[in-house]
């Protein structure tokens, strides 16, 4: 795994040839139990690195299209899986906890529901007010410039745009770790405001 912009954040990626971009997963290392977000399959190297960093206690899935390797990792590590509450009737794997809008999952990590994306109530996660972790709706296909999921894939474009604008109004976001595409390690709020003005 690669260290990200903070000493307690790591990530691993997989290049998707159909979309010509990277998919990403994030690990937050914390004393009270490590958290993985949208976990892709791990190489032996990354799995060993994870164990050195203390394993994983919780797995957060932002939407049903990002279950990825969560079930397998939970089975092998004993981690609990948390998913978006709006999908609890149709989610493809079993979750130990369902997350709601504006819910503090653990101290310092808050879930926000994004409406209108390709799945109901997709989650964005805000870490200690400065790092935004996104699933599908907010992405980055060109380095430094955020974009939104293509209109044809959205359930409701207006609601999706309003969700993006809501997130853009949060002050002090430095970094944005997207599920798909490039990360934005600096000036995250500015990138969000540019996206909000463009939709």
Kindly list the domain boundaries of the chain, sorted by start residue.
2-198
Percent of the chain topping pLDDT 90: 99
Percent of the chain topping pLDDT 70: 100
**pLDDT level of residue 19 (50, 70, 90 thresholds):** confident
Average pLDDT of span 25-47: 97
Summarised one tens digit per residue, pLDDT across range 38-92 is 999 999 999 999 999 999 999 999 999 999 999 999 999 999 999 999 999 999 9
Assign domain 2-198 to its CATH superfamily.
Ribonuclease Z/Hydroxyacylglutathione hydrolase-like (3.60.15.10)
Backbone angles phi, psi at 122, to 5 degrees: -50, 145
Summarised one tens digit per residue, pLDDT across range 81-132 is 999 999 999 999 999 999 999 999 999 999 999 999 999 999 999 999 999 9
Q: Which helix (H) or strand (E) holds 49?
A: helix 44-52
Average pLDDT of span 165-186: 97
Q: Give the E-state strand segments of the chain in sequence order.
A: 2-3, 9-16, 21-28, 35-37, 58-60, 80-84, 97-99, 103-106, 109-114, 122-127, 131-133, 138-142, 145-148, 175-177
Summarised one tens digit per residue, pLDDT across range 130-156 is 999 999 999 999 999 999 999 999 999
Q: Given this model, what pLDDT does residue 102 score? A: 98
CB distance 114 to 126 below 8 Å: no
Cα distance between residue 118 and residue 159, in whole Å: 11
Cα distance between residue 66 and residue 166, in whole Å: 23
Smallest CA-to-CA distance from 38 within 167, 178, 186 is with 178
Its pTM stands at 0.97
């Amino acid at each position: 795994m690669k260290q990200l912009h903070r000493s307690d954040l790591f990530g691993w990626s997989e290049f998707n040839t159909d979309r010509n971009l990277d998919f990403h997963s994030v690990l937050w290392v914390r004393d009270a139990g490590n958290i993985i977000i949208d976990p892709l399959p791990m190489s032996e190297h990354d799995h060993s690195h994870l164990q050195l960093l203390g394993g994983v206690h919780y797995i957060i899935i932002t939407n049903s299209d990002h279950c990825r390797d969560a079930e397998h990792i939970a089975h092998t590590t004993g981690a609990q899986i948390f998913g978006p509450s709006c999908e609890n009737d149709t989610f493809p794997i079993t979750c130990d906890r369902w997350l709601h809008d504006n819910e503090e999952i653990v101290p310092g990590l808050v879930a926000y529901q994004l409406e209108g994306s390709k799945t109901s109530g997709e989650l964005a996660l805000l870490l200690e007010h400065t790092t935004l972790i996104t699933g599908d709706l907010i992405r980055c296909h060109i380095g430094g410039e955020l974009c939104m999921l293509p209109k044809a894939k959205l359930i409701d474009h207006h609601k999706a745009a309003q969700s993006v604008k809501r997130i853009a109004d949060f002050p002090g976001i430095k970094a944005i770790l997207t599920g798909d595409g490039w990360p934005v390690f600096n000036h995250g709020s500015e990138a969000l405001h540019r996206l909000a003005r463009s939709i």
